[in-house]
Amino acid sequence: MKRIITGILLLISVQAFAQSTEYTHENYIAKYKDDAIREMFRSGVPASITLAQGLLESARGASSLAQNAKNHFGIKCHTVWEGPTYYQDDDEKDECFRKYATVLESYKDHSDFLMNRSRYAFLFELDPKDYKGWAKGLKKAGYATDPKYPVRLIKLIEENNLYQFDNAELAVVKKKESPVINSATEPIIDPIAEEVLEPIVDQKANQPGL
């Protein structure tokens, strides 16, 4: 009996250690930075802000909401949501949160959520690299009730150098296909394949000043 209990405790310890090493800031950033960069170019939301919010709201991807609903930004159902739902306690008991099939869906919906609500419109008038203005503006617009929300976002951005991703560029690779000859020996030239997107980050970009 003692061996069984010891084995169970050891298994729990191993699982806890595996989780602690899996859900780190570094792993989260490496896994989702490309999604944040692509969303930045699609929507105008700084990649640093998207990553910082994802890290904070999802507890580096380890929260129950992130695990069970692929929801990395704490977005609730509201009246317009017609997709799958997930319920858990938040400011009130059994609140309705949006549920996604993939984390990428969560990232896209986060961008759309900010783009399509008038209370966030003023954020898109800021300098795209003004992550401090965005952090403070999100709190002002009511994204979170935590009074320290901007401070926490800015700390995550600066401690993890997330501002470097706001300097990313999208390289459009154009590849010409080889001619294809049909049965009548007439050449058919395939069109140039465009918009193969690859994120390129300027690693030498300096952190913006205060």
Of 207, 60, 33, residue with least CA distance to 131 = 207
Percent of the chain past pLDDT 70, that is, above it, reads: 70
pTM: 0.73
**Which has the higher per-residue pLDDT, 36 or 12?**
36
Percent of the chain past pLDDT 90, that is, above it, reads: 65
Give helix 47-58 / helix 103-115 axis angle, nearest 10°: 120
Q: What is the pLDDT of residue 191?
A: 35
Q: Convert the pLDDT of each residue in 138-197 to its tens digit.
A: 999 999 989 999 999 999 999 999 999 999 876 432 333 334 434 343 333 333 333 444
Residue 101 near residue 112 (C-beta atoms within 8 A): no
End-to-end CA distance of the chain: 61
Residue 44 near residue 115 (C-beta atoms within 8 A): yes
Q: What is the pLDDT of residue 71?
A: 98
By mean pLDDT, which of 29-38, 41-50, 182-191 is the weakest? Answer: 182-191
Q: What is the pLDDT of residue 189?
A: 35
Q: Which domains does the chain have, with CATH numbers?
A: 12-200 (1.10.530.10)
* DSSP letter for each residue of 131-155: HHHHHHHHHHTTS---TTHHHHHHH
Q: What is the pLDDT of residue 82?
A: 93
| pLDDT higher than 50, residue 7 | no
